Amino acid sequence: MPMGFFARALLRLTVACGFLAPALAASTAHAGGMDPTPERLVLQPTINGQRAPAGYCQAVAANPALAPAGMAPDQVSCSPDNVAFKNLVSELGFALAPSTMRSARTTGFGGFVLSLDASYTHINADGVSKGSDGSLTQYWHAGTQGSTAADGTYSAQNNSPDSLIGVYTLKARKGLPFGFELDGALGYVSNTSLWTIGADLRWAILEGFRTGPMGYFPDIAVGTGVRTMTGSSKMYLTTVGIDVAASKPITLADESIITPYLGYQQLFIFGNSAVLDATPSVNALQTCGYKGLLPTGAPNCSNTVTSGTNSYANDGDFNNNITFNAVRIQRNRMFFGATYRYELLYLGAQFLFDVTSPSAIDSDLNSTRQWTMSLEAGVFF
């Protein structure tokens, strides 16, 4: 074989390793700092018409004697901050959604592309949501794990959440008959224990015309993609994208091809939470002195707490198990980019952004628009 073949193979391997290295470094050096902690997104109880200070419901769970006179501990429990959770899901979903990083032209029936994609999405790291009670919450600060202390425990909040979320994805694309193409994707989310898995399907309505009147038209394709998040037992996140794209290949020196493209994507974000313990440091069974269930289904507690002149069963922490409202959000996104092919070498770059402000679609959402920058390197067979 000619020496040029081995040189090109070495170049491809170097490029691929360069894309893979950041993912491996991130998982080693910063594991878990941006992991979701939705159980921290809580609203404090209202006492005598006044909202209790931050941390009050958690403090009462740990020490029921702090409950106001005449009130049982279960009357001052934590409740879910659904607006903060919605903002967290919306911005995280934007980052994990299908990237649409491809031209409208398919690989062809015999074509196959194996590549690594590095995508970086801007999030509102210091963004603030307004709860149903008027309280303000920095949802990325409260809703992600944060740094680890010397004893291995995590801080009460993330004091410096990342402003960019990196997703490193291994993708395989295969051309099918009749202008269809199928993609598979497996991605790692940097600074977390999260992974994404999904697939894309698209159909090139118009492609491959080079001569005659049709040769002046761009390639046009429609597609759909889905990504689902794994690695967290606290929340579930799935994104579905429907897109349309147009592109036109440009041949350079009869050996390489650059293909600029642009398109639009309608993104649907589906988020749900598991049943979460808003006071994970408190053992409800131990605090209660649990003896089983009463005929009514309520816990039978041997421990009591006195508040004012009344005595109550110390079962308040059972009310600190919360579930967030299901999140269903749409985002309107546009994208443009270009791919480059030289023999087997395949490269790509793309910029994707919100067309409309998220708050214009849902008034609960932060108004700041998001964007994603993506780079790709691989081989085209």
d(CA 336, CA 343): 24
d(CA 190, CA 31): 8
| Average per-residue pLDDT for the chain | 87
Residue 75's pLDDT band, with cuts at 50, 70 and 90, is confident
Report, as an integer, the average pLDDT of 9-27. Answer: 46
- Quote the tokens at residue 58: 């958690």
d(CA 212, CA 374): 35
pLDDT in tens, 341-352: 998 899 999 999
Residue 27: pLDDT over 80: no
> How would you class 12 by CB atoms within 10 Å of its CB: exposed for 0-12, middle for 13-18, buried for 19 or more?
middle
Helix, strand, or coil (residue 220) = strand
- Quote the tokens at residue 166: 């990196």
d(CA 167, CA 205): 30
Instruction: Measure the CA dihedral 143/147/151/156, to 10°.
Output: -30
Q: Give the pLDDT confidence score for residue 3 in this predicted structure.
A: 39
- Quote the tokens at residue 187: 């991605």
pTM, entire model: 0.88
d(CA 167, CA 314): 45
240 contacts 268 by C-beta, under 8 angstroms? yes
d(CA 7, CA 309): 85
Q: Give the pLDDT confidence score for residue 208 in this predicted structure.
A: 67
Report, as an integer, the average pLDDT of 231-241. Answer: 96
Q: Give the pLDDT confidence score for residue 313 in this predicted structure.
A: 82
Q: Give the pLDDT confidence score for residue 108 in this predicted structure.
A: 84
Q: Give the pLDDT confidence score for residue 213 in this predicted structure.
A: 67
Residue 371's pLDDT band, with cuts at 50, 70 and 90, is very high
Residue 64: pLDDT over 50: yes
123 contacts 165 by C-beta, under 8 angstroms? yes
Q: Give the pLDDT confidence score for residue 316 in this predicted structure.
A: 84
d(CA 101, CA 340): 12
Q: Give the pLDDT confidence score for residue 381 in this predicted structure.
A: 84
More confident residue, 329 or 155: 329
Helix, strand, or coil (residue 194) = coil
Nearest-5° angle of CA 377, CA 255, CA 379? 25
Nearest to 100 by CA among 256, 330, 333, 328: 333
113 contacts 172 by C-beta, under 8 angstroms? yes
**In the chain, what are the domain boundaries?**
3-30+81-125+162-274+323-380, 51-73+277-321
Fold of 3-30+81-125+162-274+323-380: Lipocalin (2.40.128)
Helix, strand, or coil (residue 217) = coil
Residue 31's pLDDT band, with cuts at 50, 70 and 90, is very low
pLDDT in tens, 131-160: 988 999 999 999 999 887 666 666 788 999
| Beta carbons within 8 Å of 204's beta carbon, 6+ residues apart | 104, 105, 106, 179, 180, 181, 219, 220, 221
Helix, strand, or coil (residue 73) = helix
d(CA 264, CA 245): 7
**Which amino acid makes up residue 172?**
A
Q: Give the pLDDT confidence score for residue 281 in this predicted structure.
A: 87
Tell me whether strands 195-206 and 235-247 are parallel, antiparallel or unpaired: unpaired
d(CA 40, CA 54): 11
